[in-house]
Amino acid sequence: MNQIYQHFRHEERQFIDQVVEWKENVLNQYSPKLTDFLDPREQEIVSSVIGEHIDVKVSFSGGVEDTERKRAFLYPDYYQVSEEDFKLALFEVQYASKFITLQHRQVLGSLMSLGLKRSKFGDIRFHNDTVHFICATEISEYLSANFKEIGRAKISLKEIDSYQFIPNKEEVQEMVTTVSSLRLDVVGAAIYNLSRQKIQPLITNGHVKVNWKVVDSASFECQDGDTLSIRGYGRSKLTSVEGRTKKDRVRIVVRKQK
């Protein structure tokens, strides 16, 4: 286990232990395991834990090819995986789009207000007035019967096929900069062109996430591969840390949402 732990942060150990338990259950019971939706960091951990294991394999699906959030399917090596194994439902939100504008946080907040966990939902996408989302099929009937409002707006759901789902058109730009340290407030300030005085309250108030988890400590140490997001400022990925310059600053390469 220590070999696995050393590649990840201490706070990720609980999830690593959960993945190990899933793997052991597949091995011992000779039956597959379907997880809830995982963020990309969790998917990376699952892939690392399962690794090149001879007897247990893993596949991921989020409903369409370019989704961010996906369910993992762990299975014995002899099992033939199909898309049906992932048990996914895709919906379009129908509403009075001429009079109402919906935002991601409103849609997700209304879904969560039904008493459902975030892990039961995959990607939520917008294009013009169209809103699509993906969920686990085990909650699809409940949603169809109970998801009737977003805020004060009356809505209804229409199930759609995967080819109809809004494609991911996210544009990113690469930037290279230097920072005095890899503290979260320092790195975030450099990426988003903010002062440390401005970014620190965003961090302490829970508006900043690293690898899809809220981090409220400005001194949190960033690493290669970390994904950062600041509410209202977008998302970026620290693709590489390239050592120190002659002036003893750290050179970083970042991919940032346009």
CATH 3.30.1370.160 region(s) of the chain? 12-85
Choose the CATH number for 12-85 among 3.30.70.340, 2.40.30.260, 3.30.1370.160, 3.40.630.10: 3.30.1370.160
Cβ atoms 151, 226 nearer than 8 A: no
pLDDT band at 54 (very low <50, low <70, confident <90, very high): confident
Position 40 confidence tier, pLDDT thresholds 50, 70, 90: very high
Please enumerate in sequence order all residues whose Cβ is within 8 A of that of 244, keeping only pairs 6 or more positions apart, or say none.
250, 251
pLDDT in tens, 179-225: 999 999 999 999 999 999 999 999 999 999 999 999 999 999 999 99
Q: Does domain 172-257 have CATH number 3.40.50.10140?
A: no
Cα separation values, 107 from 33, 65, 129, 136, 157, Å: 29, 22, 13, 16, 12
> Are 254 and 231 in contact, with CB atoms under 8 Å apart?
no
The answer to whether the CB of 133 falls within 8 A of the CB of 121 is: yes
pTM of the entire predicted model: 0.88
How far is residue 77's CA from residue 53's CA, in Å, rounded to a whole number?
9
User: CA 145 to CA 236: how far, in whole Å?
Assistant: 37
| Superfamily covering domain 88-164 | RRM (RNA recognition motif) domain (3.30.70.330)
Of the candidates 105, 121, 234, the one whose C-alpha atom is nearest the C-alpha of residue 171 is: 234
How far is the C-alpha of 227 from the C-alpha of 68, rounded, in Å?
A: 12
